[in-house]
């Protein structure tokens, strides 16, 4: 079988032209589109909004940070807690007592005792002072020795100094105690308490 030539000869081209001219179209020819329609219509570029410049106030690092005094102090000191208690007794008498102008009628020294030893001694002392019609008594606790054990939790020193006010505010002593105050320096200062008792009914 003979191979077809890749290109048509001049005679073949002329023959094909005559055949094409003698034929009629089955469908009408499409009109030529204008050049503009052949080109891709580019969408107009959207204008990007200009960035807004925000001017921040100049500041120094940490200038608005709140200072926290004593960050490791988990509770107010005993002196602050006693001082925050409302005055239940006569204010003039209270002022004299705070200035050390009133002498205690009885006193007890719990310094050096353990909690187990000090609680019954204090209870007997307050109840006997009430029976004796005493109004102002002095309870000496001592300031306590500071022992830093190096642990992660801070430990308060002066166990009795912190425990005595709690005992005085619980039964059976609270019904007899009118006011507790830190003693004046001449009576022991932070190592002692004034205990002002109620009158017997």
pLDDT digits over 34-85, tens only?
555 444 555 556 677 777 776 666 666 666 666 666 555 556 667 778 878 8
Tell me, what DSSP letter sits at residue 102?
S
Residue linked to tokens 């005792």: 113
Answer whether 149's CB lies under 8 Å from 155's CB: yes
DSSP 16-72: HHHHHHH---SSPPPPPPPHHHHSPPPPPPPPPPPPPPPPPPP--TTTTPPP-SSTT
Percent above pLDDT 70 for the chain: 69
In terms of phi and psi (left: phi > 0; alpha: psi -120 to 50; beta: otherwise), the region of 32 is beta
* Range 8-16 average pLDDT: 82
pLDDT digits over 162-194, tens only?
999 999 999 999 999 999 999 999 999 989 999
What is the rounded average pLDDT for all residues in the chain? 80
């Amino acid at each position: 079988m003979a191979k077809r030539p890749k290109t048509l000869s001049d005679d073949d081209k002329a023959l094909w032209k005559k055949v094409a001219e003698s034929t009629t179209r089955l469908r009408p020819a499409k009109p030529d589109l204008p050049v503009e329609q052949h080109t891709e219509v580019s969408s107009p570029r959207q204008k990007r909004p200009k960035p807004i410049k925000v001017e921040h106030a100049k500041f120094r690092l940490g200038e608005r940070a709140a200072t926290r005094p004593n960050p490791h102090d988990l509770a107010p000191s005993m002196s602050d807690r006693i001082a925050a208690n409302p005055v239940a007794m006569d204010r003039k008498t209270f002022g004299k007592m705070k200035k050390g102008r009133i002498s205690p009628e009885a006193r007890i020294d719990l310094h050096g005792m353990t909690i187990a030893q000090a609680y019954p001694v204090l209870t007997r002392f307050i109840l006997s002072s009430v029976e004796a019609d005493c109004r102002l008594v002095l309870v000496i606790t001592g300031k306590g020795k500071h022992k830093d054990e190096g642990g992660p939790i801070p430990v308060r020193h002066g166990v009795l100094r912190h425990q005595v006010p709690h005992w005085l505010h619980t039964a059976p002593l609270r019904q007899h105690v009118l006011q507790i105050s830190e003693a004046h320096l001449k009576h022991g200062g932070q190592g002692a308490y004034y205990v002002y008792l109620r009158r017997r009914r």
